[in-house]
């Protein structure tokens, strides 16, 4: 909607050399609210008045001009101002004539066909001021409408231009990585598929390099993502120096790249990868005053006439697995994919076990069995160790050594730890009153003590079931304890404060056993079974076990021997001062507890030793 109040603020030039006429026109316009009036006495004066408004054309209203104005070529002025092709610069004209004239007489002859763009009116002397005011309102309104339309057209043109730019950018980003300009993963696999299909007919050698920047996350953490992005760009520039213009080079992850080498055998691919590895190793990345040395791990998967790959994802997967192997073997190295690699087999096992473990957790296919731990001195059952099992197909029992390693690697071990704790406490809570003295030892994974939910789970479960915390002993392996010693010791201290006990499992398997035993807050020390199995025939094992028993005793800790399977071992352990024994000699792991609270060790020993001729080494 036109705001006529604003339009009356526009500049109006009264180009009239007859003084009385100029005064009359000015007086009539002022009466109607037009205040921004300027009088020009000749043609040159019009241009002087307009000059300051060269870049402010929207502030100019119109020109009222006498056709006989001195030094004025009215027709040329109309062509230049009233017929301007830029609608934001057009200046309407009202031409005052002595005789009747048509506006078309003031168009240039060659431009008569475009007369619609002109805003020209003619008015004959003596002036009808009512008509003059109507024409002024009309021309100012038309100028305003044309200006709005012009701005809308400009905005539309700009929007279309911007949209074209955005569309072009989107088309580019569909197939390229925005940061580095390399192919993205989808386009790389599409291009690679075309190459593989073509090469399948010619049986050519080729190779794929999977390049991963070692410890790239450290740069992001220390310096921020912008610095990390700059490092990526500089490394891409470095690698591109080795490539031809038509090489398939792509960024497929944050710091992961794929490079396809056509017509390269394994030896050539290794040489090429080594050149890249060396160049990156020698490269120095500066940010501020800090200089970083960067390395890459490169996995290589090859194609040859006897080993063809038809799908790009398979080729990339092989190279990626090789790269992971390179990282696990120390980083900054090359590795060629091999089906028999330990890491490859391990990952395949993980893929197999992960859904089975999740299913077992959801469908209650995990269960606990209990193996007695016996006092060697009198045969009394001290407590039971709770051992996890899984139900397989056809009710086959799956032992933990088959699925626990996969659970640890796949991030499922925390759920298993919590399940074991809750199930063991529920088991104790549901025992009849006459068995309320029964205690359990519970195995926990090495990462359990890094899980913040473990302590509140134990506390809440004990409070809900009213189970005495002293009936729980948590076992942690020595190697797991050493990995994060301080945090593990802190967690153990907090759990012991609830009243629970602790045992250091597999004691002796590590190299720093006695050092950690001195400072670790545990109640029991479980001697690793590798020292017990050959105890009767290996004098070294005898010396070590005897030493462990003596040191543990001096430190006020009880000892438990695992893998006790013969009466001769029981006798020897008694001689060495071992407190407890656990193994098939006393009982296999079972879902039910033993009927008796003790094992007739002395009777078993007497019967077995009398019947079996065996020379016991002292």
Query: What are the residue boundaries of the structural domains of the chain, listed by start?
Result: 4-153, 185-338, 367-395+413-611
Q: Is the pLDDT of residue 481 over 70?
A: no
What SS3 string covers 145-162? HHHHHHHHHHHHHHHHHH
The per-residue pLDDT for 447 is: 80
Widest CA span in the chain: 151
| pLDDT at residue number 617 | 37
Please identify which residue in the block is written with the tokens 């406490």. 425
Segment 513-546, tens digit of pLDDT: 566 677 778 889 888 888 998 888 888 889 999 9
Per the prediction, the chain carries an average pLDDT of 83
Protein fold of 185-338: Alpha-Beta Plaits (3.30.70)
In a 3-state reduction of DSSP, which class is residue 4? Answer: helix
Q: How confident is the model at residue 478 (pLDDT cuts 50, 70, 90)?
A: low
Q: Whose CA is closest to 277, among 330, 323, 211? A: 211
Lookup: tokens for 18: 């007859």
For the packed helices 567-576 and 539-554, what is the interaxial angle rounded to 10 degrees?
50
SS3 of residue 59 by DSSP: helix
Instruction: Over range 574-579, report the average pLDDT.
Output: 91
How much is the pLDDT for 202?
56
DSSP state of 9: T
Q: Within 13 A of 290's CA, how many CA atoms are on the CB side?
A: 8
DSSP 319-360: HHHHHHHHHHTTSSSEEE--TT-HHHHHHHHHHHHHHHHHHH
96, β-bridge pairs: 66, 123
pLDDT value of residue 269: 92
| CATH architecture of the domain with residue range 367-395+413-611 | Alpha-Beta Barrel (3.20)
User: What is the rounded average pLDDT of the residues 45-60?
Assistant: 82
Per-residue model confidence (pLDDT) at position 461: 93
3-class secondary structure, 587: coil
Name the token pair of 532: 């017990």
| φ, ψ at 96 (rounded to 5°) | -95, 125
Q: Dihedral angle at the C-alpha atoms of 448, 449, 450, 451, nearest 10 degrees?
A: 60
Task: Find the helix or strand (DSSP H, E) in which 13 lies.
Answer: strand 11-15
Q: Kindly tell me if the per-residue pLDDT of 165 is higher than 70.
A: no
Contact (CB, 8 A) for 209 and 259: yes
Mean pLDDT of 19-26: 89
Q: At what angle do helices 185-199 and 312-328 cross, to 10 degrees?
A: 110
Choice between 227 and 158, residue whose per-residue pLDDT is larger:
227
CA–CA separation, 240 and 243 (whole Å): 5
Tokens read off for 249: 């080079």
pLDDT tens figures, 492-517: 889 999 999 998 887 776 545 566 67
Q: How confident is the model at residue 110 (pLDDT cuts 50, 70, 90)?
A: very low
Three-state secondary structure readout of 47-67: HHHHHHHCCCHHHEEEEEEEC
**pLDDT tens, position by position, 199-243:** 665 567 888 999 999 999 888 888 888 898 999 999 999 999 998
Provide mean pLDDT across the span 238-255: 87
Q: Which helix (H) or strand (E) holds 194?
A: helix 185-199
Cα–Cα distance for residue pair 290/284, rounded to 1 Å: 10
Tens of pLDDT, residue by residue over 407-462, are: 888 888 899 999 999 999 999 999 998 888 899 999 888 788 888 888 999 999 99
Q: pLDDT tens for residues 338-370?
A: 877 766 677 777 778 888 889 988 988 999 999
pLDDT band at 466 (very low <50, low <70, confident <90, very high): very high
Quote the pLDDT of residue 104. Answer: 75
In the numeric block, which tokens belong to residue 67? 């056709």
Note the pLDDT of residue 509. 63
Could you write out the DSSP letters of every residue in 587-609?
Answer: ---BSS--SSSB--HHHHHHHHH
CATH for 4-153 is 3.40.50.2300
Output the pLDDT for position 616.
35
Nearest C-alpha neighbor of 87 from the set 107, 50, 57: 57
- 367-378 tens-digit pLDDT: 999 999 999 888
Angle of helix 567-576 relative to helix 601-611, nearest 10 degrees, comes to 120
CATH topology identical between 185-338 and 367-395+413-611: no
């Amino acid at each position: 909607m036109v705001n006529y109040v604003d339009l009356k603020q526009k500049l109006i030039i009264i180009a009239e050399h007859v003084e009385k006429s100029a005064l009359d026109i000015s007086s009539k316009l002022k009466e109607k609210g037009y205040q921004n009036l300027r009088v020009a006495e000749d043609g040159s004066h019009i241009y002087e008045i307009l000059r300051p408004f060269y870049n402010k054309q929207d502030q100019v209203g119109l020109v009222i001009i006498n056709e006989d104005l001195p030094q004025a070529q009215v027709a040329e002025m109309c062509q230049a101002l009233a017929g301007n092709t830029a609608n934001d610069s057009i200046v309407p004209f009202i031409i005052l004539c002595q005789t009747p004239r048509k506006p078309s007489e003031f168009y240039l002859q060659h431009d008569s066909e475009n007369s619609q763009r002109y805003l020209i009116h003619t008015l004959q002397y003596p002036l009808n001021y009512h008509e003059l005011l109507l024409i002024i309102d009309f021309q100012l309104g038309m100028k305003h409408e044309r200006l709005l339309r012009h701005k809308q057209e400009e905005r539309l043109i700009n929007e279309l231009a911007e949209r074209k730019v955005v569309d072009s950018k989107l088309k580019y980003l569909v197939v390229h990585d925005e940061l580095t300009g390399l192919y993205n993963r989808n386009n790389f696999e599409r291009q690679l598929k075309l190459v593989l299909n073509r090469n399948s007919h010619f049986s050519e050698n080729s190779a794929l390099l999977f390049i991963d920047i070692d410890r790239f996350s450290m740069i992001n953490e220390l310096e921020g993502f912008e610095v990390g992005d700059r490092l990526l760009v500089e490394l891409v520039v470095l690698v591109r120096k080795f490539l031809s213009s038509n090489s398939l080079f792509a960024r497929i992850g944050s710091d992961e790249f794929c490079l396809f080498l056509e017509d390269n055998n394994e030896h050539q691919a290794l040489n090429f990868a080594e050149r890249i590895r060396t160049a990156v190793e020698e490269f120095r990345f500066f940010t501020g005053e800090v200089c970083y040395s960067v390395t890459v791990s490169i996995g290589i998967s090859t194609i040859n006439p006897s080993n063809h790959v038809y799908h790009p994802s398979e080729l990339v997967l092989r190279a990626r697995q090789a790269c992971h192997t390179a990282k696990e073997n120390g980083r900054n190295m090359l590795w060629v994919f091999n089906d028999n690699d330990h890491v490859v087999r391990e990952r395949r096992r993980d893929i197999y076990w992960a859904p089975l473990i999740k299913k077992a957790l959801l469908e209650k296919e995990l269960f606990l069995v209990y193996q007695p731990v016996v006092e060697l001195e009198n045969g009394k059952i001290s407590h039971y160790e709770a051992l996890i099992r899984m139900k397989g197909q056809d009710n086959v029992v799956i032992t933990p050594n088959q699925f626990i390693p996969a659970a640890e690697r796949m991030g499922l071990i925390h759920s298993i730890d919590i399940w074991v704790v809750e199930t063991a406490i529920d088991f104790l809570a549901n025992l009849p009153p006459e068995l309320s003295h029964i205690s359990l030892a519970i195995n926990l994974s090495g990462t359990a003590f890094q899980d913040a939910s473990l302590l509140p789970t134990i506390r809440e479960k004990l409070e809900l079931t009213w189970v005495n915390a002293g009936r729980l002993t948590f076992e942690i392996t020595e190697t797991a304890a050493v990995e994060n010693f301080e945090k593990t010791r802190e967690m153990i201290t907090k759990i012991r404060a609830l009243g629970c006990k602790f045992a250091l499992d597999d004691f002796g398997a590590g190299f720093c056993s006695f050092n950690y035993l001195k400072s670790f807050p545990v109640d029991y020390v479980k001697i690793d079974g590798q020292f017990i199995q050959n105890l009767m025939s290996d004098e070294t094992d005898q010396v070590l076990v005897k030493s462990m028993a003596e040191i543990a005793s001096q430190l006020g800790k009880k000892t438990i021997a695992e893998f006790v399977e013969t009466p001769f071992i029981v006798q020897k352990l008694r001689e060495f001062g071992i407190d407890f024994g656990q193994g098939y000699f006393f009982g296999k792991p079972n879902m039910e507890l033993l009927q008796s609270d003790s094992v007739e060790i002395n009777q078993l020993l007497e019967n077995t030793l009398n019947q079996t001729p065996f020379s016991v080494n002292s």
